[in-house]
Amino acid sequence: MTANQTGALLMCVSMAAFTFNDALVKLVGASLPLPQILTIRGLAASFLIYLLARNLGSLRMRLSRRAWAMIALRSLCEVGATYLFLTALLRMPIANITAVLQVLPLSVTLGAALLFSEPVGWRRMAAIVAGFCGMLLIVRPGPDGFSDGALFALGAVAFVTARDLVTRRMPPEVPSMTVTFCASLSVLAFGAISSVTVDWQPVSGDQLLVLMAAAFFIFGGYLCSVMTMRVGEIAVIAPLRYTGLLWALLLGWAVFGEWPDAVTMTGAGIVAAAGLFTLYRDRRIARRRTA
């Protein structure tokens, strides 16, 4: 198996793991408050991520003040993104919220152009506009505006975009697993603090098993995503992140009896096509710069 094939496989497994985590959280979210879920899942996930980081030797705490400031800002964005995404997930079909998040390559490209003055040609800008139009087909604001779930989903996109833009400016000496571990701890701390405002519900054995499985899938997703960055060409592997949408469609149908209507599917197709075109243009531009 070539490096690109290995990287592609790892990317597909990573997307599947993250989507299975979403489905499990949505499943147990019908009976447990979100802060309680974040706390229980966060304890297990943070422990597993810590073990992975230690095993890889990438848990470095002696960092510059600027590095810690960037980690803190990114962790804050991670908390906002996690809370808003999971809140939207509990109110929307899993395929719909997953499709909305596929706009991220476009929003990050636009954000980098606006904040960092990175060049964006007219072709990529047209793709960004098309992608956002496709996203509107998914969330479909009515006469009274956006639904609560759609507003949470759009907020999650904003926070994830900010998180990824902060990551772009992260000092190179900061190990990715240190960043991941700090983000996991931040989400855990948020869940623990916010859980004092809700009444904890008794957790059955089945519910605990679901939460532990969710933590395992989060861990597996992070592990595969880290391994993906170490093999193959990113330009070849990155488009396979859209396999997460296929998993969301399958799980939404099999577990929750949900299937998007034609308008939502059209919007998701536009978003995915625009994102893939943007990745294609990025790859061509990168080749020209290295030629």
Q: Mapped to the 3 state alphabet, what secondary structure does the chain carry?
A: CCHHHHHHHHHHHHHHHHHHHHHHHHHHCCCCCHHHHHHHHHHHHHHHHHHHHHHHCCCCCCCCHHHHHHHHHHHHHHHHHHHHHHHHHCCCCHHHHHHHHCCHHHHHHHHHHHHHCCCCCHHHHHHHHHHHHHHHHHHCCECCECCHHHHHHHHHHHHHHHHHHHHHCCCCCCCHHHHHHHHHHHHHHHHHHHHHHCCCCCCCHHHHHHHHHHHHHHHHHHHHHHHHCCCCCHHHHHHHHHHHHHHHHHHHHHHHCCCCCHHHHHHHHHHHHHHHHHHHHHHHHHHHHHC
pLDDT at 144: 57
Quote the CA–CA distance of 249 and 246 in Å, as a whole number.
5
pLDDT over 60 (residue 291): no
Domain interval for residue 41: 3-290
Quote the CA–CA distance of 164 and 77 in Å, as a whole number.
9
- Give the count of alpha carbons within 13 A of 61, CB side only: 4
Query: 104 or 72: which carries more pLDDT confidence?
Result: 72
- Most confident range (mean pLDDT) of 8-12, 16-20, 131-135, 222-226 is 16-20
pLDDT over 70 (residue 75): yes
Residue 232 — very low, low, confident or very high, per pLDDT cuts 50/70/90? low
Query: 225 or 192: which carries more pLDDT confidence?
Result: 192
Average pLDDT value for residue range 172-194: 91
pLDDT over 90 (residue 277): no
pLDDT at 140: 80
Q: How many CB atoms lie within 10 A of CB 150?
A: 23
Q: What are 211's two structure tokens?
A: 């939460």
Residue 237 — very low, low, confident or very high, per pLDDT cuts 50/70/90? confident
Quote the CA–CA distance of 93 and 81 in Å, as a whole number.
18
Query: 116 or 253: which carries more pLDDT confidence?
Result: 253
The total domain count for the chain is: 1
Taking a C-beta distance cutoff of 8 angstroms, is the pair 53, 177 a contact?
yes
pLDDT over 90 (residue 40): yes
Quote the CA–CA distance of 42 and 36 in Å, as a whole number.
10
Residue 145 dihedral angles phi and psi, to the nearest 5°: 100, -160
Average of per-residue pLDDT values in the chain: 88
pLDDT over 70 (residue 143): no
* Amino acid at residue number 57: G
Residue 78 — very low, low, confident or very high, per pLDDT cuts 50/70/90? very high
Average pLDDT value for residue range 221-234: 75
Quote the CA–CA distance of 291 and 284 in Å, as a whole number.
11
Average pLDDT value for residue range 245-258: 93
Residue percentage of the chain with pLDDT more than 90: 49
Q: How many CB atoms lie within 10 A of CB 217?
A: 22
Query: 288 or 151: which carries more pLDDT confidence?
Result: 151
Average pLDDT value for residue range 2-13: 83
Average pLDDT value for residue range 7-34: 92
pLDDT at 162: 93
Query: What is the value of pTM for the model shown?
Result: 0.89
Residue 116 — very low, low, confident or very high, per pLDDT cuts 50/70/90? confident
Residue 10 — very low, low, confident or very high, per pLDDT cuts 50/70/90? confident
Average pLDDT value for residue range 27-53: 93
